Amino acid sequence: MPGRTIASLAQRTRRTNDPTLTHHHRIMAQAPAPKRPIKVLMLHGFTQSGPSFHAKTRALEKNLHKAFPAGISLTYLTAPHRLAPTDIPFALPSQATADTHAAPEEIEAFGWWRKKTLPQAAAAGTNADDELVYEGLEAGLATVAGTLASQGPFDGVIGFSQGAACAAMVAALLEPGRREAFAAQRARHSSSMEYPSSFAELEHAPLKFAVAYSGFVARGGERYKGFYEPRIATPSMHFLGTLDAVVDEGKSLALAAACEGTGDGSGRVVYHPGGHFLPSSQKAYVSALIGFMKEILAKAEHGEKEKEEESVEDMDMPF
């Protein structure tokens, strides 16, 4: 993604850290809550699990239930890859005093994929990004696809860190034309990822929204560009921590710039004055999320009503 685009996006979105002060978010807060229950996928970060992510977002869940009185269901998935200590580049708080000889399966830490570097990356003149792969990504996506098939349809997805990157991928995969985009990318670069088989036969409408907390674009050179070219059309909101030392600003802004409607001054990027976490209870940032969701769902509901009216008008009447 061009650096100028990301830099200009950062300049615009840093004008205020309080999302409630922007005109766009005041408008969003006025949107009515949908009159039907909504369903949202929740994708945890690297080293977390569905239950641990649920525990960290209970305050957010409580606020969402208040904001959507018709009902909201949050489905917390656990990624398929149980992580070993060697997969984790930092010490988990719960493992700080644990037995260092504990078996890997005793660690309740999971990932949607493992980042690996192919051996040839060390060769002279080789771009390290080109030789970086996300091992197990297909299995991670298959876990999400299975839930979409068995428990869907879902209205949106919320993800944190690696889960945010995965959320953007899932949103992209459900969009019309994405399979063709993967095929075109693979025709240009044979190392590019194929369209995931778990989504090939999946019958699920495009998501109405995607929310990324501390998200990032998949690395790997040309390998994963099918997710981002063309840009992700699903309405999205991106939350960045000004003190985030795990996923830096540039990586999160690259994901925002890979989505339509985020690099054009529409206020879809929100900074919070914290580190690498999801602001689950801070009113300003919860209100920004709720306002965004209400606005997008109201637009979707209006569009569905218009389609219903058009279909009735096109019916052949027996008179």
Position 286 pLDDT exceeds 80: yes
Residue 23 is predicted with a pLDDT of 38
SS3 content of the chain, % helix, strand, coil (to 5): 45, 15, 40
- pLDDT for 68 beyond 90: yes
Give the percent of the chain with pLDDT over 70: 74
Span 288-301, average pLDDT: 93
pLDDT of 12 above 70: no
pLDDT at 38 over 60: yes
Segment 204-232 mean pLDDT: 96
Average pLDDT over residues 293-312: 72
> What gap in Å lies between CA 62 and CA 41, rounded to an integer?
16
Indicate the pTM of the whole model: 0.84
**Any residues with CB less than 8 A from the CB of 123 and at least 6 apart, and which?**
none
pLDDT over threshold 60, residue 104: no
Kindly state the average pLDDT of the residues 26-41: 78
Residue 124: pLDDT over 70: no
Instruction: Assess whether pLDDT exceeds 70 at residue 58.
Output: yes
Q: How far is CA 273 from CA 240, 244, 257, in A?
A: 9, 9, 21
- Where residue 35 falls among pLDDT bands split at 50, 70, 90? confident
DSSP letter for 48, please.
B
Half-sphere exposure of 19 (CA within 13 A, CB side): 29
Q: Which residue has the higher pLDDT, 267 or 159?
A: 159
Interatomic CA distance for residues 38 and 156, integer angstroms: 8
Q: How far apart are CA 95 and CA 62, in angstroms?
A: 29
Which pairing describes strands 132-135 and 236-241: parallel, antiparallel, or unpaired? unpaired
Query: What are the structural domains of the chain?
Result: 3-86+107-313 (3.40.50.1820)
Please check the confidence at residue 96 and state whether its pLDDT lies above 60: no
State residue 221's pLDDT score. Answer: 87
Residue 144: per-residue pLDDT: 99
